[in-house]
Amino acid sequence: MAPPTGIVPDTGMSIHHIDGVCDILDKQPGFWVVNKKSGIDFHADQGTPGLINHLNHAFPAESFLPVHRLDKDTSGLLLVARSPEAAQQLSTLFAEQQIRKFYLALSDKKPKKKQGWVIGDMAKSRNGNWKLLQSKK
């Protein structure tokens, strides 16, 4: 049985819902655009299926490969490849920053004094950790 289908308001874009897990916002020949819900693991964890497992179960005729990920408590858009070739091409585009990621943090609490905005680009440091780069402004 196929997941329910609806229409995204004002776009006419077809959308598939996988209850409590994600929405499929767009389907391209090499990849799908998926809106992952908060609280869903990207990778399977201790017997709990991850996003890719949910997609493979909902669409058994498809084969999905991860290109990038979001943490369990983070919601947002992901590109999910439909072939190893597409996964490699998308990974290369991310690495070359031809596809860019943007994050927006929302909170229902007032930040503490030592907290604040993080604005700028990030890069890997020599030890492999991510570091915030100096602003160009």
Active-site residues: which are they? 71
- Residue 119 to residue 51: CA distance in whole angstroms: 29
**Rounded to 5°, angle at Cα 83 from 75 and 41:** 25
Interacting residues of 74 by C-beta distance below 8 A, sequence separation 6+:
36, 38
